Amino acid sequence: MNSHLILLPVLLQVLLTITLYIKLNIVKVRAAKAGDVNEERRSLHDDAWPDYVLKINNCIRNQFEVPILFYVLAISFALINAVDLSVLVISWLFVASRVAHAYIHTGSNYVPARRKIFTFGVIIVLVMALMLTGALLSA
């Protein structure tokens, strides 16, 4: 199997993060125009922004937590040429979990649902790490 295929879910994860940055810019401009921003605190304090901005900002922060581990694992699989169908499927599942997490986080922000999706993603990363360990030991 072509090991470069694992870069497709990686690319989608990157695009998700960029999309969130674009959405953040849009809502920040809207909040500023609406007068919803405490201009004195804006440059250094998150609490200067309304909750609808903070939800997106916090979601972006989340894209630099567990997804970083996914990036490392995915690139490692590609480097050792160990990408197979199971690795691809689990990679796509991880990215789907991140899309769902971002949708919930920037929408309803219902924490119990968000926590379940987050935990699912963490479990996927753990499984990927175990799979990579197996691939390294069998090489």
pLDDT score, position 40: 81
Task: Give domain limits for the chain.
Answer: 3-138
pTM metric for this prediction:
0.93
> pLDDT (tens digit, 9 = 90+) per residue, 74-92?
999 999 999 999 999 999 9
The third-level CATH classification (topology) of the domain covering 3-138 is: Four Helix Bundle (Hemerythrin (Met), subunit A) (1.20.120)
The gap between the terminal CA atoms of the chain, to the nearest Å, is 16
**Residues in Cβ contact with 132 at an 8 Å cutoff, skipping those fewer than 6 apart:** 73, 76, 77, 82
Judge whether residue 55 has pLDDT over 90: yes
Q: Is the pLDDT of residue 46 over 80?
A: no
